[in-house]
Amino acid sequence: MGFSFSSFRRNSRQTEPENLEGPNRAAYASSHLSDSDGHQGVGEKGPVAEKFVHDADGEKDTIIEEFDKSPGDLTFEEDAKGGMGRHLGLTTCTLLIVGKIIGTGIFSTPSSILGSVGSVGASMMLWVLGFVLSFCGLFVWLELGTIWPQSGGEKVYLERIYQRPKYLATIIFASNAIFLGFTASGCIVFASNILVAAGHEAGRWTERGIALGVIAFATLIHGLTPRAGIYLMNALSVFKIFIVLFVAITGFVVLSGKTHIKDPHANFRDAFAGSSHKPNDVSPLFFHRSIDMRCIDGRASQYATATFKVLFAYAGWSNVNYVLNEVRDPIRTLKIAGPLGLAICALLYLLANVAYFAASSKHDILKSGVTVASLFFRNVFGEQAQKALTVFVALSALGNVLTVTFAQARVNQELAKEGIPLPFGNRLWASNWPTGKSPLPGLIIHLIPSVIVIIAPPPSVAYPFILDVEGYPAQIINLFVVSGLLYLRATKPSLRRPFKVWLPFAFFYLAAACFLLIAPFLRPSNRVGDTPPLPYWLYCIVGIAVMIVGVLYWFGWRVLFPRVLGYELVPVKTELQDGTFVTSFERSKAQ
């Protein structure tokens, strides 16, 4: 299918488009319309509804200019056009969150967290803290997502809040989304576990070859047969719920004493024992007045890194925010699917941790050399069940890869719609080529860095380091998002907010984001961190460097080259053959 572009002129006053039908008309009405008294009309609305409410007092044009346009000058209804329309319901959106959150972390991360904090009690408290922080973040994203029910997530919120300098927020977000938006670890986990299940040696290139096949499969099924991709993604999400639920129920059976596990309550009798004896633990801070400040710094750094891992295991609660252009009744669906999906995962995570600690001693978990889930299955069911677990973990990793690629492709497409200069032109990358239903070019943008990360670095050191690098810029973005929400509350109190986060939650999330950005720079007491021989602070610097690359790219594109070469960037809005609207830039000689 070739490309066909038809230019059009934007009306100075926005009215309901004449050609909106079915779900597009409903989505437009639910996000835009209100009655003459300023009350909610067909559905709940974001700030664009204010342009109707305030028609009489002359504020309409200001509100349209400030909130109804993206940097590429696309309106709400234009941005939502193209592709399969609004086809995602409440069930799929909930599973989209569950499928992203439950990857492989719950099968392996608990042992790493235990090693960092030194006790079962402190480990469980950190999982609870991650749950609370994630819910606080979810409520912040719910407020912003219901104000602007559009695909792109943080991209949309940063663009609308930090509008000057124009495109700076977009480019910085794009540098992080493109360079660090890969899906490599899930592919590697799938490959290694499948090889173990098949009884084959996990050779370096054999493992990488399978991993490349996984990311290629995810790209093609979502790009060429999008409905089949969604069905498979949902099926694997349901499968993951049943697997973790099975672990949780088995844990209760173990605790009942009806299995061969001796003393399943041992880890819970003195749950915090050990916290005060490890050099990188935080618990002595609360009990000893005389303490070396270098130990405080080390413990803070170690706890920050452990918290990053817990938050990474919970990551995915904002997944629906990235695909809202494809969601039916987006505001209502988001408000239900977000809390429901995260609550399901949080409950399963806490119960799974209880099961792990019931079936294995703390010493065995730290010294066994296998994942905590593998140790659990071996202790409870035997070695054959331990081998079966590798298949479960592989399928869980595959489901996570499918979920991540689905959402990330939509983010890449939204970035291309704004006119960001990309190789071969941004119109290609913004399109739904070749089917007209799914953004295969956006999937390819996601595929390229994933392939590089799978092939290039040595895995033993690189993969843990890459996970840390992914987390740090994300926390910087989160800091600006929650700060922006607080700024909007103070400066734009009249905005329609179908959902409002309780401000103490927002401030708590802000404080946690600040801590997680500062603490990794504090030298750990073991002086090496968790990715030796690399310096403990290196992942922070690399993450910041990625964002600085975005700043430099923006400066060259928007300031330096136009000034040196004497041209201006003139935006041109076009409609692609599949109905997608995209902004691109033409050069015009500067006046």
- In this structure, what CATH number is given to the domain that contains residue 556? 1.20.1740.10
CA–CA gap between residue 109 and residue 145 (Å, rounded): 30
pTM for the structure as a whole: 0.84
**pLDDT in tens for each of the 591 residues of the chain?**
443 333 333 333 333 444 444 444 444 444 443 333 333 333 334 444 444 333 334 443 333 345 566 787 888 888 889 888 899 999 999 999 999 999 888 988 888 888 878 889 989 999 999 999 999 999 999 999 999 999 999 999 999 999 989 999 999 999 999 998 888 888 988 998 899 888 887 777 898 999 999 999 999 999 999 999 999 999 999 999 999 999 999 999 999 988 888 889 988 988 887 763 443 333 333 233 333 434 444 455 566 667 778 888 898 999 999 999 999 999 999 999 999 999 999 999 999 999 999 999 888 888 766 678 989 999 999 888 888 899 999 999 999 999 999 999 999 999 999 998 888 888 999 999 999 999 999 999 999 999 998 887 766 666 677 777 877 898 899 999 999 999 999 999 988 999 999 999 999 999 988 988 888 887 776 666 666 778 888 888 999 999 999 999 999 999 999 999 999 999 999 999 989 999 999 888 877
In 3D space, the residue among 53, 60, 46, 58 whose CA is nearest the CA of residue 14 turns out to be: 60
Tell me if 134 is assigned to some domain: yes
pLDDT at 525: 64
Distance CA 54, CA 66 (A): 14
What is the reported pLDDT for 20?
42
Query: Is 442 part of any domain?
Result: yes
DSSP 8-state secondary structure symbol assigned to residue 69: -
372 found inside a domain = yes
Rounded CA separation 535/528 (Å) = 6
Residue 404 lies in a domain: yes
Q: What is the pLDDT of residue 529?
A: 65
CA nearest neighbour of 360 among 438, 247, 191, 498: 247
Question: Which residues contact residue 152 at a Cβ distance below 8 angstroms, ignoring those fewer than 6 apart?
Answer: 321, 322, 410, 411, 414, 415
295's CB contacts (< 8 A; 6+ apart) are: 279, 284, 525
Residue 33 confidence (pLDDT): 38
Contact 371, 108 (CB under 8 A): yes
Has residue 9 been placed in a domain?
no
The number of folded domains in the chain is 1
In a domain, 52, yes or no: no
Within a domain: 34: no
Within a domain: 582 = yes
Helices 90-101 and 330-359: angle between axes, nearest 10 degrees: 40
Closest to 375 (Cα-Cα) out of 397, 348, 356: 356
> Structural domain of residue 229, as residue ranges?
82-277+295-589
